[in-house]
């Protein structure tokens, strides 16, 4: 699948950059502007990160601000939380989101709760960057989308950008936020070139974007699934079916106003996500649609997710498990023509 197709993001930009480079730009701009921004992570210094996102930052900012850590996600996260409590703004890189399981106690029971327990006595301005998602044949323990676990936790914000413009703007906002932010970066997007405007203005957390307007159905997606949805919309448009594509961008807080307005207009909704279905993000999003637009729905909300299985290593099996453009096209037709 060629990412970017069907996405109207090319008209006003002077340059194309890789998604990974947009992340690096946001980090560099924040670190130059604010000396309290520091980076922690495995191999983020001399090696430049598992996916090259932090390449060159050690040379500019030094070992005091770009800290190579041991392979100990729990310890790294605890270190970052302590640094945040004492006045720094740490950004932690998890080499693979799957490894974030080793830091669940620190994130869920400490970072997320200190503000509510101690009020204005404690702030935890920490960004947790997690490389997530399948598509590269990394196998079952290196390919998961686990953002649903963290949407469940009060006190955490969860962001999952799909474009270079959004990843830079949302990361800029996340690093300025006084609360902990889980920042989900899809590995399959890192080496996709996308338009990027020169203006590095932050994008407020909690605001979805109408990527493509239509009236036949609403497709709700985030992260890499937005590209799948956009390509499906392009295929459907050739057949005279105009679907609206909403890039949710932030999952907690979720922009229920935008998704509700769209579904009230179209009367049909499809949620596309690479996470699992059971108690997953798609379930929450679908129920928010029901709350916002039940009386307007002409058909039940459809979910397109990963099947309940360990993500295969074999490329052909992995692709068969991932939501595909044809899955979305088929779902829209079933809704529109049933």
Q: Which residues are catalytically annotated?
A: 73, 142
**Half-sphere CA count of 55, side-chain side, radius 13 A:** 7
Spatial separation of the C-alpha atoms in residues 115 and 217, rounded to whole Å: 40
Q: Which of 50, 99, 38 is nearest to 73 (CA)?
A: 99
Spatial separation of the C-alpha atoms in residues 331 and 324, rounded to whole Å: 11
DSSP letter assigned to residue 68: E
Neighbours of 184 (CB within 10 A): 24
What does the angle CA 147 – CA 150 – CA 154 come to, to the nearest 5 degrees? 150
Tokens describing residue 280: 């997953």
Helix (H, G, I), strand (E, B) or coil at 62: coil
Spatial separation of the C-alpha atoms in residues 272 and 58, rounded to whole Å: 38
Q: Which of 135, 287, 321 is nearest to 224 (CA)?
A: 135
CA dihedral sign, ordered 119, 123, 125, 129: negative
Q: Please state whether beta strands 89-94 and 127-132 pair in parallel, antiparallel, or not at all (unpaired).
A: parallel
């Amino acid at each position: 699948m060629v990412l970017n197709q069907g996405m109207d993001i090319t008209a006003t930009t002077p340059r194309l950059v890789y998604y990974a480079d947009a992340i690096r730009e946001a980090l560099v701009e924040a670190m130059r502007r604010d000396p309290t921004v520091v980076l922690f992570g495995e191999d983020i210094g001399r090696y430049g990160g598992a996916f090259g996102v932090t390449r060159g930052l050690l040379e500019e900012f030094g070992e005091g601000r770009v800290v190579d850590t041991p392979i100990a996600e729990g310890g790294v996260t605890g270190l970052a939380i302590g640094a945040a409590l004492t006045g720094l703004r740490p950004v932690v890189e998890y080499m693979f989101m799957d490894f974030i399981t080793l830091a669940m106690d620190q994130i869920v029971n400490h970072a997320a709760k200190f503000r509510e327990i101690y009020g204005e006595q404690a702030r935890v301005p920490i960004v947790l960057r997690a490389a997530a998602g399948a598509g590269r044949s990394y196998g079952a323990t290196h390919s998961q989308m686990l953002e649903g676990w963290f949407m469940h936790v009060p006190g955490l914000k969860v962001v999952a950008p799909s474009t270079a413009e959004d990843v830079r703007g949302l990361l800029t906002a996340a690093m300025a936020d006084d609360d902990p932010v889980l920042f989900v970066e899809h590995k399959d997007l890192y080496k996709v070139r996308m338009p990027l405007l020169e203006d590095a203005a932050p994008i407020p957390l909690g605001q979805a974007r109408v990527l493509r307007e239509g009236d036949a159905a609403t497709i709700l997606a985030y992260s890499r699934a937005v590209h799948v949805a956009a390509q499906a919309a392009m295929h459907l448009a050739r057949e005279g079916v105009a679907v609206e594509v909403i890039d949710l961008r932030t999952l907690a807080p979720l922009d229920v106003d935008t998704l509700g307005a769209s579904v009230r207009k179209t009367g049909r909704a499809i949620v596309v996500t690479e996470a699992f279905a059971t108690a997953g993000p798609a379930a929450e999003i679908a129920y928010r649609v029901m709350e916002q637009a039940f009386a307007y729905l002409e058909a039940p909300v459809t979910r397109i997710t990963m099947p309940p299985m360990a993500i295969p290593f074999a490329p052909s099996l992995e692709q068969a498990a991932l939501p595909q453009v044809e899955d979305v096209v088929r779902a829209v037709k079933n809704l529109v023509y049933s």
